[in-house]
Structures are given as C-alpha cells and as structure tokens.
Amino acid sequence: MSVTRDAILDCLGTIPDRPDPAVETVSTTAADGYERRLVEYDVEPGERIRAYLLVPDDVDGNGERPGVLAVHPHAGEFAVGKSDPAGLSETAAYHYGVECCRRGHVVCCPDLLCFEDRRPAARERAAGTAPDGAEYEKFVAMDRLLRGSSLQATYLSDLAAALDVLESHDSVDPDSLGVLGHSLGGQEAAWLAWFDDRVAAAVASSGTARLAAVQRERITHNFALYVPELLSIGDMDDVLTGVAPTPLLVTHGTEDRIFPPDSVRELAATVSAAYADAGVPDRFEARFFDGGHEFPADVRSSAYAWLDRWLDR
C-alpha cells in the first residue's frame, strides 16, 4: 500500500504557524570574498531567532543568484549550530556554507532548536535551573509530543522560515533554492525537500537510513529522527520517494556506524526506482565512499557540483 503525504503529515503532528519573517540585520562582518551577516527573523509568533547569511561580495541585487540553506550537524555539540556551516567553528569539514558561498550562492545558516543561540540562557544553564545539552533536546522533544506535535515538525517549520529569508533576499532567484547538510543536517535536508516544494535541489550527507534498521541495530539518535507512528505506516523510503522529482543527492560512508550502510543501499535502490518511474532517473544519485560518518572534501565537492548543476540555470 502506498503511503500518502497526508499520512506522513499526520505522523509529524501539528506544524507551527509561520509568520512573515520580518528579517533584520544585526551585524555585518567582511570575510574572504563574502560578507557574513548576522540576521534575526521570526519563526513562530513571538519567537525570533538568529542565523548567519553569507553573501558573496559580487552580488548585484538582480535576483539571479541561487539561495542555499546550509543545515548544521549534531555531533552532540549543542554550543555549536549555525557557526559550523558559517565557518566559525574548529571543524573545517563542516564549513560547507562558506564553501557554497564562495561558489557564488547566497547561503543561510540557521540554528536548529536546542543549538547555539537556541538554548536556555547561559545564566539558567549555569544555575541549573534549566536543562542543558542533550537533556534540553529531550525536554523540547517530549514537550512537542505532549502538545500533539514533534521535534521534526518544529525543525521543518523553522527551516521553511529560513527558505522565506532566502526567498526574500533581493539577490536570490526564488526558483533556485537548495538545501544541504551533514548528519542531522542531512536528515533535515532530506525531510525539507519532501516538505517544501520550493526546494529545487537537495544534498543529504550521512543523514538518512531505514528507521527499521536503526531500531534493529539499537542505535540511539537525535530526537527529531523519531516521528510518532512513522514505522506503523512506512519508513524513510516513503519520505525520500516523495521527494521526486526534486533533484536529490545522498552521500554515505561504507563504515558509517550511525546510519547502517546496508539499509542506506536498500533505501537508495528504492528511491532510484521511484525516480525512474517518475521519468527523471538523473535527478537522484547515491554516492557511497570508503569512510565513516563524515563529509570528506571530495564528497563535499561532488555535493557542490550537484547543487550547481540543478540550481545554476
């Protein structure tokens, strides 16, 4: 039985209301070939968040540049979110937002809830009056469940708001919006490509597998992975096949211990067949490489080439 989009939306639960983002620039810093702008915008009524907007120096405001959403990984590093893809962390392999910007794209790097600026205030964490790190992630996820929603639903709504920010930029072509991310970021890139049809191309690095296999191997994961009742109606096959015909690249290490590689190969075969059935076999690709849960330089280069191919029109 085919799993419908509506059935998956029911599993996600209530999607937060999303207002006009009302973007404001907080500060601007000159970097090598681009500006790093700290911007603030609304994601829900009464909730404003911050993101880094990376803008190439040679933009001219003619609305012809692709806009790319760069979603940060998890890695248990809750103090670091948007700073990873924005090039401000110590992990160079996660600076993929900067690398995309240097290829001429306008890039938005937001914090996901529970990371960097979207944690309880430092004074609360220090005093122990608010949960921190993984405990805060757990608290937020459980709170969403109690209210008939899910952390994944929140992430999707928030990332759709980041697309709003890109879409409204005077240098961005609203028909050329892409998303990429690694690990948690790859998971969210795949989900967002399914959720929001403004996504014109997506790259999911080490971020997806059959959830039945994850459970089989007893692998614990980020809380957004657990969408209530999803396994009772289907699996990630149904999400990724639902991305078609949007161009989607999945990359994965053969020694990845977090997302079982055998299930990723099976998932990729199913998705590839769905794209072929849709008459667009060239719009899906799965690239496996020798390595673990990582985003190495040559794989990142292929990811950028994929986005260039489908967004630069």
Q: Give 129-155 pLDDT, tens digit per residue.
A: 899 999 999 999 999 999 999 999 999
Please state the rounded mean pLDDT for residues 96-117: 97
Q: Residue 117 CB: number of other CB atoms within 10 A?
A: 15
pLDDT of residue 312: 84
- pLDDT of res. 141: 98
Q: How many structural domains compose the chain? A: 1
d(CA 121, CA 138): 17
CA angle 164, 166, 171 (to 5 degrees): 135
Give the mean pLDDT of the chain: 96
Compute the average pLDDT of residues 61-77. Answer: 94
Give, in order, the Cα–Cα distances in Å from 274 to each of 153, 206, 207, 220, 263: 25, 21, 20, 29, 17
Percent of the chain past pLDDT 70, that is, above it, reads 99
pLDDT computed for residue 1 by the predictor = 40
Question: Residue 156 is which amino acid?
Answer: L
Q: Is the pLDDT of residue 126 over 90?
A: no
pLDDT band at 2 (very low <50, low <70, confident <90, very high): low
Give yes or no for a contact between 187 and 208, defined as CB atoms under 8 angstroms apart: yes
% of the chain surpassing 90 pLDDT:
93
pLDDT for residue 313 is more than 90: no
Domain span at 108: 5-311
The closest alpha carbon to 284, from 230, 246, 234, belongs to 246
Distances (CA, A) of 11 to 14, 36, 233, 285: 9, 37, 9, 27
**CATH, residue 263:** 3.40.50.1820
